[in-house]
Amino acid sequence: MGRLLALTLAYLAYLLAAAIGSERQQHSVQHGPCSYTFILPEVEHCQPLKDFQVTNTLQRDSPPEAEPGTGQSKPVKAQKERPSWQETKLESLESAMENNTQWLQKLENFIQENVRSGMEEMKRAAVHTQTAAMLEMGTNLLSQSAEQTRKLTDVETQVLNQTSRLEIQLLEYSLFTNRLEKHILLQTQEISRLSDKNSFLEQRLLALEARYGKELQGLESEKQQLQELLERQSRLVSQLQGELGSTTLNSTSLQKQQAVLTDTVQQLLAMVNHCNEISNVPKEEPLSFRDCAEIRQSGVTESGIYSIRLPNSTQTVKVFCDMKTRGGGWTVLQHRTNGSVDFHRGWRDYKLGFGELSGEHWLGNDIIHKLTSSQEYSLHVQLKDREGNEAFSQYEHFYIDGEENNYSLHAEHFSGTAGRTSSLTHTGTQFSTKDRDNDRCTCKCSQLASGGWWFEACGPSNLNGIYYPASSSVVRYNGIKWYYWKGPNLMATTTTMMVRPANF
Ligand SMILES: [Ca+2]
């Protein structure tokens, strides 16, 4: 194709040159339907150079057939034959013309073939492209059609389903309506039957009323008589009930009199007991002593129950005074001897005191606080084991705080024979009972060890633990304890805690 284009361009250039030189001498040649015009060189008006040779301005497809010895023989021949140069020129032009004609025919053929083949190729390509586009469009249309068909099918299915549901519902409604109609019919029949029966019964009732009207009147008068009789009987019953009530009252008053008599007898017995007790108790001192020490200092030497007036208070309390131990004058705070009193008690009991002054008792934390905080007191702890061995622990400075500080313990300057180390916990330990846990244990010592005491966690002593008899052989951890004397468990022990002014 490139070559074809070059040839075409060359030919066009030639045609252009011919047009430019149209004023010059032209020669036209008709070849079939085509005509060709040529411009011939005008040699007659110019003097050619020596080395210039006029040649055909047109190029041949192939070089002219070589004539042997043409180059050198031409001038010779010209000289020999001397044909006119125009004839020669004409001949050469004719031959060139022929060559050109042939060349143009070839070119035309070539162009026609190329055009034909190009057109066919273009047609084929166009057909191919169109076919592919058509195929693609067809495919798209098919797929769209399939999609639409599927959607239509879905819609159709839904409509069918809906329709069938509606049909079923309609059927059910019609069945229900039929049943209702039947039921209504039956009810209507029943109502008519009942109304018939009702009218029949009404007629019968009217007949019966007419028939039994007289009998009814008789019965009513009889009923009135019976009512009157019933009222009379009721009045009689009321009278009888009144009589019964008065009889019961008499019985109750008799029972009350009996109870009063019993009380009187008990009071008399109590008075007799009290008189006996008073006769046993030594003569009380005037209520001006603040503790047993003052009573002892007043000359009293017999142990027993005495009244004292608490310091800075008008309150008088009864206490047991030990007038024998180490010079006497001891106010007893606590005493255990036989286990007759339960010491596993709550906060309030330990606050106010409990037990028998002449026997086992706890004087009471409020009294102990008021007494020991009024001046400096010593504490004496007297112990006796089940074999009768005695020992003591003494604290020269002793007092307890008030309830606001949970009766905290203060006991210092220890001495004595009941262990080389003090069994009382250190200063500041608070008092705990089973219902008031003030110890330093995550447990509740008062519940574990029993009784109320200055438990730390839970500490080496508890003189308010459970009193175990001498026969007990198992070691208990909730019994009476004064650890540094006899270990964790004292049995059948006698204990006494008592205070006396430090300067006694
Ligand atoms: Ca605790």
pLDDT digits (tens, 9 = 90+) for 242-266: 777 766 676 667 777 777 776 766 6
Domain ranges of the chain: 292-501
pLDDT band at 26, cuts 50/70/90? low
Q: Residue 218: which pLDDT band, with cuts at 50, 70 and 90?
A: confident
Rounded to the nearest 10 degrees, the angle between the axes of helix 2-20 and helix 85-280 is 130
Residue 385, pLDDT > 80, answer yes
Write out the E strands in 48-115.
none
- Residue 431 Cα to ligand 1 middle (Å): 11
Distance 451 CA to ligand 1 centre (A): 14
Do the Cβ atoms of 410 and 399 come closer than 8 Å? yes
Q: What is the pLDDT of residues 301-360, one digit of tens each?
A: 999 999 999 888 888 999 999 999 999 999 999 999 999 999 999 999 999 999 999 999
pLDDT number for residue 21: 47
Integer distance in angstroms from the first to the last C-alpha of the chain? 150
What angle (nearest 5°) sits at the alpha carbon of residue 150, between those of residues 148 and 151?
65
What is the whole-number distance in angstroms between the Cα of residue 476 and the centre of ligand 1?
20
| Options 3.40.1410.10, 3.30.465.10, 3.40.228.10, 3.90.215.10; CATH of 292-501 | 3.90.215.10
Closest CA to 439 of 462, 456, 427: 456
* Phi, psi of 462, rounded to the nearest 5 degrees: -165, 95
The Å distance, Cα 432 to ligand 1 centre, comes to 9
CA 453 to ligand 1 center in whole angstroms:
13
State how far the Cα of 499 lies from the Cα of 395, in Å rounded to an integer. Answer: 10
CA of 436 to the centre of ligand 1 (A): 9
Q: What is the DSSP letter of 285?
A: P
Q: Does residue 413 surpass a pLDDT of 60?
A: yes
- Average pLDDT, integer, range 470-481: 84
Residue 450 φ/ψ, nearest 5 degrees: 75, 145
More confident residue, 219 or 15: 219
In one-letter notation, the amino acid at residue 462 is N
Predicted pLDDT of residue 44: 55
Neighbours of 444 (CB within 10 A): 18
**Cα(419) to centroid of ligand 1, in Å?**
27
What is the Cα–Cα distance from 374 to 402, expressed in whole angstroms? Answer: 12
pLDDT at 119: 87
Contacts with 488 (C-beta within 8 Å, 6 or more apart), sequence order: 475, 477, 479, 481
The helix (H) or strand (E) run that includes residue 263 is helix 85-280
Could you tell me whether strands 361-362 and 330-336 are parallel, antiparallel, or unpaired per DSSP bridges? Answer: antiparallel
Nearest to 321 by CA among 290, 342, 348, 278: 290
- Å from CA of 455 to ligand 1 middle: 9
The CA 380 to ligand 1 mean position distance, Å, reads 28
Average pLDDT, the chain: 82
Q: Tell me the CA–centroid distance for residue 495 and ligand 1, in Å.
A: 26
CA angle 97, 99, 100 (to 5 degrees): 65
Residue 346's contacts (CB-CB under 8 Å, 6 or more residues apart) are 433, 434, 435, 436
**Banded pLDDT at 296 (limits 50, 70, 90):** very high
- The pLDDT tens digits of the residues spanning 478-504 come to 999 999 998 888 887 899 999 999 998
For residue 320, which of 371, 357, 348, 272 has the smallest C-alpha distance? Answer: 357
pLDDT given for residue 148 in this prediction: 92
Q: Determine the Cα–Cα distance for residues 330 and 384; give it in Å rounded to an integer.
A: 17
Q: How far is the CA of 426 from the centre of ligand 1 (A)?
A: 17
Question: At 156, phi and psi to the nearest 5?
Answer: -65, -45
DSSP 8-state symbol, 68:
T
Residue 43 has what DSSP assignment? G
Residue 433 C-alpha to ligand 1 middle, in angstroms?
A: 10
pLDDT band at residue 380 under the 50/70/90 scheme: very high
| Ligand 1 centroid distance, CA of 300 (Å) | 44
Tell me, in angstroms, the distance from the centre of ligand 1 to residue 446's CA. 8
Between residues 256 and 41, the one the model is more confident about: 256
Q: How high is the pLDDT of residue 72?
A: 45
The percent of residues above 90 in pLDDT, for the chain, comes to: 43
Q: Please calculate the CA angle 490-491-492 and round it to the nearest 5 degrees.
A: 130
